[in-house]
Structure formats: C-alpha cells, structure tokens
Amino acid sequence: MATKQKSGGLGRGLGSILPDIDVENVKPATDTISTVPLAKVTSNPFQPRKEFDETALEELTQSIRQQGVITPITVRRMPDGSYQLIAGERRTKAAQRAGLKEIPAYIRTATDNQMMEMALVENIQRADLNAMEVALAYRSLIEECRLTHEELSEKVGKDRSTITNYLRLLNLPSETQLALSRDVISMAHARALAGMEDVERHLELLHAVIDRKLSVRETEQLVKSGKGNRVVAVPKNAKRRGDLPETHQKAQSSLKERLQSTVEIKRSQRGKGTLTIAFNSDADFERIMKILGN
C-alpha cells in the first residue's frame, strides 16, 4: 500500500518508521480501537521517559476515574499473548491505580528497532519528555539502530542542528544535567552554560543562574565575563525571571494531564496573561473541545 505523506513535522518521521501505515490516518477510527486487559500490558524496555511526576500521575488517576482513558495507549502484540507498551506508560499506570481492568489501545506491528523509534516519536509529539530524556533517547537510537545524525533527523522530523544540540547536553556536568531534567533551568540556559568548559567555573555559574533566576541573555553575558575571572561575580541587581504562581502551575499541570496535550500559561506581574492549548489536527482539536464540554 502506498504511503501518504504529510508535509513536514513528525508525520513524515512516523511514516519512514512504518512505511505501511497511512500517516494521514495514523490513529484509526474509534470503532477500530481494541480494548486489552491491563494485566496483559507490559512495560516498554525502550521507554525514553525515566521520571514520572507523582502529583501529575495522581491527578491523571483521578481524571481517569471520572472520565476513563480518553486517549488510547499504543502497544504491540507479543508471541505469548501479552501487549508490550510503545507509548502511554503514564496512562497505563494511572489506569491501574484507578482500578480499571481494561484499557483502549492501538495495536501496532513493530520490530524492536521500530518500537524504540515509535516510542521516541510519539513521546516527542506529545511533548512528554524533558530535554535530557530526549538527548538520551536520541543517543540510544543512534547507537542501537546504527543511525547517522542525518538519518535520525529524517526519522523524528527534526533539523540536524536540533539533534546535535540535544546530544551536546550529554557532555554537560551531571549537576547541570540534573537541573535541566528537573526544569530548574531551561535548555537555552544549558546551552549557554556549555560555553564554560572549566567544570568548577561552570558549576559556579550554574548556581548563580539558579539562585538569582537569571534570564538566558544574562546567563550568556555571565559566561562571557566568567571566562576571564577566577571567581564569578554576579550583579546584585540581576533581573529575576517572573515565576508562575503555584496556583497557576497546578492548573497548568492539571490541564496538561486532563487534555493530554501541551498547555502553557503566561502571566504578567499585574495578573494578566494567556492560556494556550496545543492540538495536532482537527480531530485532536475536536477531542480537546469534547473534554472541555463544548
């Protein structure tokens, strides 16, 4: 069967992974979704995500108790009759906690390499991975599937420079990697800090960025000035980045889990702001609107 190609983005990458799938309709209609026993669902050994936020997981569990699993998981059928996860481990964990016996699932046919690729692509598409998890997953694909940066770029629908930038994160000191994986600093901060190769000075800069909540531009300036100074001097009047209030952070996390989509809240010091909900297609938009009751 000829593969239909979508223009740009991750649809092209998924099509290159499984060429017999019609990427225009990568998720089948509702009446073709299978329901599988949760007891027969096993973990994905290639799962890119390493950490699961306990609070977010509990919120998803409560949502599933009320509304069920809205977005099916993706699995592959194994010779022993079990179903190995490709994507949806958090939904599976939450469904188990909610006491469900079965879960809706898309059943795919895939080799180990294809499964690893699909798990990465689907997780990135849902923005589920932090920067360090993406970097580690990219390295695994390169090593396990023997891919070049160019081939990986084509499979995940990302520019080669983007792939390279992620892989460079793996050369950062472990403390910086940990701060990045916990969203204490952004990837842009990490890239700026990478300019300081001396580990001791690098960590001094990292602590300064975290303690004073410096912007990316301020971090870049600090790295530039720090290269010529043994002791890093941080301006006392350094501007702090505006933090999102805890109530807004919780709301953002709750909406993300409920809608299974990227949600961003921006707020000014005066209390004005915007709420942005991302969707991948018209069908995804309709799904989100249904959840919101419209």
- pLDDT tens for each residue of 244-291: 788 888 888 888 878 877 788 887 777 778 888 887 777 778 888 888
Residue 193 has pLDDT above 50, yes or no: yes
Q: Which amino acid is at 170?
A: L
Residue 22 has pLDDT above 80, yes or no: no
Q: Is the pLDDT confidence value at 37 over 90?
A: yes
Catalytic residue among 89, 122, 133, 257: 89
Contact in structure between 49 and 129 (CB atoms under 8 Å): yes
Of residues 281 and 194, which shows the higher confidence score? Answer: 194
CA 171 – CA 193 distance, rounded (Å) = 11
264 belongs to the catalytic site? no
Q: Is the pLDDT score of 25 beyond 70? A: no
Per residue in 149-183, pLDDT (tens digit) is: 888 888 777 888 888 899 999 999 988 998 888 88
Domain with CATH 3.90.1530.30 in the chain: 29-168
- State CA 180 to chain mean position distance: 13
Q: How far apart are CA 222 and CA 234, in angstroms?
A: 7
Closest by CA position to 14, among listed 79, 106, 136: 106
What is the tens place of the pLDDT at every residue in 92-113? Answer: 999 999 999 999 998 888 777 7
Cβ burial, residue 238 (10 Å; 0-12/13-18/19+)? middle
Secondary structure (3-state) at 191: helix
Using a cut of 0.75, tell me whether the model's pTM lies above it: no
CATH number, span 29-168: 3.90.1530.30
